[in-house]
């Protein structure tokens, strides 16, 4: 197993934490866009159309998550028990047959995720086109307006300052992420170097594609003080980087909230002047949709990685010589790996269930505001609803920083 060049995937079963705020934010930003374009019927129609398309897209996303749930269940309830029986009976050919079946399941998911990612891409382009439509109509209207009030100018100036700070923070986040990836790779390479002396650990690494568990297994199985000290040092360095990322993520989120608040003030000022506001909320919708799309892209690569690992297990272990020659010696390690794999995949399945619920709720309840035209609201009703949506937007929980590859340092 030591010759494998395959890296353990940097995917967390808690990926759902990234989905919830983005999905909630999308609906609220559509709502704000809808309110801000009151009294402009053509633009109201555009927003309504795009919001309905987003609902349908979330419905398709829910269906994809359901397939992930079912596949995770199949791995836990079908594949792993069959592999156990095959190993216990020393039937490598039967194990290969089971692995081939699992790879078919996974390839089906990969195809579905690719399709849904393409849909997000097309939909985001449609939202961008709608933004351009709003901009054009705004330009035509603003030709009639020659005087800009001072409050709006000050707000826009403050916004520009915040945007510059936001961009700088994003760049710092990207640099920290690079360092995390580099340190993760260093840990993975060190872990692989240790598994060269333990084929049982190598099998474990293939069946359990979560490096936190790999690290723990190394602590449990390796007793060389030098190796343990080195792993602890690497883990500590990575945890510092993850802590830095968490702080930067919180800072980026706080600035983003301030920017949205400033944008809403500018939008309200424009509304009070009977001018079409800038479609800033639609641009934020694009950003939120892109975040959801990014999670789904990660999901695709996760399943690709799992497919490669199953292929490796089949070709190098059951078809090759690794397990056939010394099956009796490795049987206990293999069966133990299966048990831990079942727990890890069950956790992943639970994450998919939560994601499914998120998409389903967004599809069902979050777009009821489309049933009432904002132009039918009185000024008092408009302001009351606007403030309500604004408060809900501000209360959205910032996604906690989820370590992309390892668990917190494990005390020994």
Q: pLDDT tens-digit profile of 108-133?
A: 888 888 998 898 888 888 888 877 77
Angle at 117 between CA 73 and CA 253, to 5 degrees: 95
Whether residue 94 is predicted with pLDDT greater than 50 in this model: the reply is yes
User: Mean of the per-residue pLDDT values for the chain?
Assistant: 76
Closest CA to 194 of 2, 412, 409, 407: 2
Percent of the chain with pLDDT strictly greater than 70: 73
Domain ranges of the chain: 16-144+151-394
Q: What is the pLDDT of residues 6-48, one digit of tens each?
A: 334 445 556 667 787 888 888 888 898 888 887 777 788 888 8
Average pLDDT over residues 340-358: 83
Q: How far apart are CA 252 and CA 387, in angstroms?
A: 23
pLDDT grade for 203, boundaries at 50, 70 and 90: low
The pLDDT of residue 276 is 58
Average pLDDT over residues 323-351: 72
Contact 207, 201 (CB under 8 A): no
Q: What is the pLDDT of residues 42-72, one digit of tens each?
A: 788 888 888 888 888 888 888 888 888 888 8
Contact 204, 217 (CB under 8 A): yes
Q: How far apart are CA 212 and CA 218, in angstroms?
A: 10
41 against 320, higher pLDDT: 41
For 71, list phi and psi in degrees, rounded to 5: -65, -40
Q: How far apart are CA 207 and CA 313, in angstroms?
A: 8
Residue 408: CA count within 13 A, CB half-sphere: 4
Q: What is the pLDDT of residues 213-245, one digit of tens each?
A: 666 666 666 667 887 788 788 888 888 998 898
User: What's the token pair of residue 319?
Assistant: 């078809």
Percent of the chain with pLDDT strictly greater than 90: 1
The pLDDT of residue 403 is 36
The pLDDT of residue 175 is 92
Closest CA to 217 of 237, 244, 236, 192: 192
pLDDT grade for 266, boundaries at 50, 70 and 90: confident
Whether residue 273 is predicted with pLDDT greater than 60 in this model: the reply is no
Whether residue 286 is predicted with pLDDT greater than 60 in this model: the reply is yes
Angle at 81 between CA 77 and CA 86, to 5 degrees: 150
Average pLDDT over residues 366-387: 86
The pLDDT of residue 261 is 81
The pLDDT of residue 9 is 44
The pLDDT of residue 267 is 72
The pLDDT of residue 406 is 33
């Amino acid at each position: 197993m030591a010759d494998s060049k395959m890296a353990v995937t940097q995917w967390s079963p808690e990926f759902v934490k990234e989905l919830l705020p983005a999905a909630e934010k999308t609906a609220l930003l559509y709502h704000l866009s809808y309110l801000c374009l009151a009294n402009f019927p053509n633009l109201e129609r555009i927003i309504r159309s795009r919001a309905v398309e987003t609902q349908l897209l979330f419905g398709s996303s829910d269906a994809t998550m359901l397939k992930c749930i079912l596949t995770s269940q199949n791995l836990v309830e079908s594949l792993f028990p069959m592999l156990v029986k095959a190993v216990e009976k020393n039937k490598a050919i039967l194990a290969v047959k089971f692995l081939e079946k699992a790879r078919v399941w996974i390839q089906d998911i990969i195809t579905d995720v690719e399709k849904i990612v393409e849909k997000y891409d097309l939909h985001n382009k449609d939202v961008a086109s709608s933004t351009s439509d709003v901009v054009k109509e705004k330009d035509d209207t603003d030709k009639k307006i020659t005087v800009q009030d001072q409050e709006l100018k000050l707000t826009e100036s403050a916004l520009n300052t915040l945007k510059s700070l936001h961009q700088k923070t994003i760049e710092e986040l990207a640099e920290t992420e690079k360092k995390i990836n580099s340190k993760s790779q260093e840990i993975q390479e060190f872990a692989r170097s240790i598994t060269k002396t333990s084929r049982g650990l190598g099998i474990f690494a293939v069946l359990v594609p979560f490096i936190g568990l790999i690290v723990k297994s190394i602590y449990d199985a390796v007793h060389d003080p030098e190796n343990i000290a080195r792993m602890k040092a690497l883990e500590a360095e990575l945890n510092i980087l993850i802590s830095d990322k968490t702080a930067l993520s919180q800072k980026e989120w706080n600035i983003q909230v301030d920017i949205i608040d400033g944008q809403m003030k500018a939008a309200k000022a424009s509304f009070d002047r009977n001018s079409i506001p800038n479609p800033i909320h639609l641009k934020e919708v694009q950003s939120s949709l892109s975040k959801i799309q990014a999670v789904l892209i990660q999901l695709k690569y996760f399943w690709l990685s799992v497919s490669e690992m199953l292929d490796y297990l089949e070709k190098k272990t059951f078809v090759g010589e690794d397990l056939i020659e010394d099956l009796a010696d490795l049987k206990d390690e293999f069966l133990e790996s299966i048990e831990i794999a079942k727990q890890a995949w069950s956790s992943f399945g639970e994450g998919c269930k939560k994601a499914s619920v998120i998409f389903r709720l967004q599809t069902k309840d979050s777009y009821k505001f489309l049933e009432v035209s904002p132009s039918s609201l009185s000024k008092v009703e408009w302001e009351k609803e606007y403030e309500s949506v604004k408060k809900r937007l501000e209360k959205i929980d910032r996604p906690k920083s989820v370590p992309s590859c390892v668990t917190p340092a494990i005390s020994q």
